[in-house]
Amino acid sequence: MLRLSPPNFQRFIQARSFDAIYGGGEANVAVSLANFGLSVDYVTKLPNNKLGDACMNYLRQYGANTTKIVRGGDRLGIYFLEKGASIRSSNVIYDRANSSIATAELQDFDWDELFEDVRWFHWTGITPAISQNLADICLQAVKIAKEKKITVSCDLNYRSKLWNYGKSCSEIMSELVKYCDIAVGNEEDFEKVFNIAPPDVDISSGKVAAHNYKFVVEQFKNLYPNIQMIGITLRGSISASHNTWSGLLYDENEMYTSPVYDIDFIVDRVGGGDSFNAGLIYGLITYKKDLQKALNFAVGASCLKHSIEGDFNLVSKDEVLKLIEGDASGRISR
């Protein structure tokens, strides 16, 4: 979809121009994985017009394969982002109703063909939040993926401003998650979607600790025994411009925790969770059973995302490895 943002941290009411880029949950993951050297297909539906063409070109220049994208529908979805600073929070306005993807139908996607030679399928909770049509399409996709023994991962990605077409988020997501192997969320998603909250944690205080979330992953695992791994990103919001960043990974009965990064100057936090998902997928594929390194890679990749303008995490695996191996100096590479 198209992202429009007022320049220079302006508010919407000040803006006389908007910076335009393209992005979106699954697209952000696809581009990150392509940057890490993996072969990635991106699946969506875009209008058959110049904006749809521009979106496809934007994805292609960063290495994502766009040949499986369906064309049709009336318009490209848009979201407006007012970037926060210091004690002022960011704000998002969605304009996605009647977009090509919102009005997509089951017959638009031949999953048997789309899943040919595929080993991993990733989706986010933003997609079924857009429309009942998309919730049905997601359910069809995950069912067929499981039949084909494809690894399925999801980012819960709760968006309160999108769930407004009748059925509740928990009702839709509960059915979809039954077909997943890996579930990821932030420090609030599991509470917002499944009403599982860590005891004695106040998110608004800006202080989050991994050990407080052991209760969350254990409760979620009890609800969904099909889930093999659970990842949580932990953001301590000191201000809109200053966060701490870390994560955890739960595998059966063992919980892995990452180092905590102090990000004292945030360029753009949008896509932070998506970059964690991409880093985790890459880490699990590349490092196999070394789950601690896979987690560290995911957290390092998503930490770096906060220094990059736009939705996409435009960093290489070597840059991530440099950070997680201890070099956070930011010195010029000559």
The string of pLDDT tens digits covering residues 97-155 is: 999 999 999 999 999 999 999 999 999 999 999 999 999 999 999 999 999 999 999 99
Give yes or no: residues 158 and 296 share one domain. yes
Domain endpoint, select from 67, 82, 104: 104
Q: Does the residue 16 lie in any domain?
A: yes
Helices 25-35 & 50-60, crossing angle to 10 degrees?
A: 30
**Do 304 and 156 share a structural domain?**
yes
299 and 194, same domain (yes or no): yes
Cβ neighbours around 175 below 10 Å, total: 15
Which residues is 42 bridged to in the sheet? none
Give the pLDDT confidence score for residue 267 in this predicted structure.
Answer: 95
* pLDDT at residue number 331: 56
Which secondary-structure segment (H or E) carries 139? helix 132-147
**Sequence-separated (6 or more) residues with CB below 8 Å from residue 235:** 186, 187, 208, 243, 244, 245, 272
* In a domain? residue 208: yes
Tens-place pLDDT, residues 163-212: 998 889 999 999 999 999 999 999 899 999 999 999 877 666 667 888 89
**Residue 334 placed within a domain:** no
HSE toward the beta carbon, residue 56, CA cutoff 13 A = 18
330 falls within a domain: no
Asked if residues 201 and 212 have their Cβ atoms less than 8 Å apart, the reply is: yes
Judge if 151 and 198 occupy the same domain.
Answer: yes
Look up the pTM and report it. Answer: 0.95
Mean pLDDT of 251-259: 93
CATH number at 245 reads 3.40.1190.20
Angle formed at CA 216 by CA 211 and CA 218, multiple of 5 degrees? 95
The last residue of a domain, from among 89, 104, 119: 104
Number of domains in the chain: 2
Whether the per-residue pLDDT at 330 is higher than 80: the answer is no
Supply the range of the domain harboring residue 305.
Answer: 25-50+107-324
Query: Do 62 and 87 fall within a single domain?
Result: yes
